[in-house]
Structure 1
Amino acid sequence: MYSLIFYVPESHLESVKQALFSAGAGAMGDYDSCCWQVKGQGQFRPRKGATPFLGELDELEIVDEYRVEMILEDELKAGVLSALLLAHPYEEVAYHFIPVQY
């Protein structure tokens, strides 16, 4: 199994989670749509060549985001990653897959 951790702006929190749940992430035993989330702030500076969803080139941007964690079975990893990248508004999505035992 994997734990998927990603960061998403508040405006797209629910739509990204739903895309991942639809791809099979967040299932544990007889439960689905399981995740943990916490609100915080992210920051970034888009550089030349970027097409940012938020912010301006060469300007530091600080945005309210959620850190979301959910588990998934090994065989779902490629489909879940595709769903994340399609549903997420950022052109560079920050995410981690961490192997876990369940």
Structure 2
Amino acid sequence: MASNTSTAAPSRRYKLVFFVPVADSAACKTAVLAAGAGQFPNYSEVCFETLGTNQFRPGEASTPYIGQPGRLEEVAEARIETVVTGEETMRDVVRALKQTHPYEVPVYEVYKLEDF
């Protein structure tokens, strides 16, 4: 008797969260979504965005996109969250984010997701 159980391992899913100045959020969203983020069955370009304020003090050796070295800055930023399927796609998405993000060191987080 044939089994209905698939032996193929499902692709790992990840959540990408990144922070970007509001003025640059559209370009970063476009880049990560074009690289394969935000794909669900019957849906594409899926992400969630919230607004907040980021605080940082650029180091003396930095060349900040916003602000001056040694001076405390507060910047209106978007927190953007999206889901990515597959490790290679996740790597492509992070690469696209790093190439598009205006900061010297983009702030982002990657989480492995579990299905329940």
- For normalisation by structure 2, the TM-score amounts to 0.85
CA shift digits 1:71-92 (9 cap, x unpaired): 0012301111110000100001
- Unaligned runs of 5+ residues in structure 1 are none
Counterpart position of 1:16: 28
- 1:73 pairs with 2:82: no
Counterpart position of 1:90: 103
Counterpart position of 1:27: 39
Counterpart position of 1:56: 68
**Aligned Cα RMSD in Å?**
0.8
Kindly state the Cα deviation for residue 48 of structure 1 after the two structures are TM-superposed.
1.4
Larger radius of gyration: 2
Q: How many residues align?
A: 102
Distance 1:78 1:3 in 2: 12
Kindly state the Cα deviation for residue 101 of structure 1 after the two structures are TM-superposed.
2.8
- Unaligned runs of 5+ residues in structure 2 are 1-12
| Corresponding residue SS for 1:6 | strand
8-17 vs 74-83, greater mean Cα deviation: 74-83
Give the share of equivalent positions with the same residue, in percent: 35
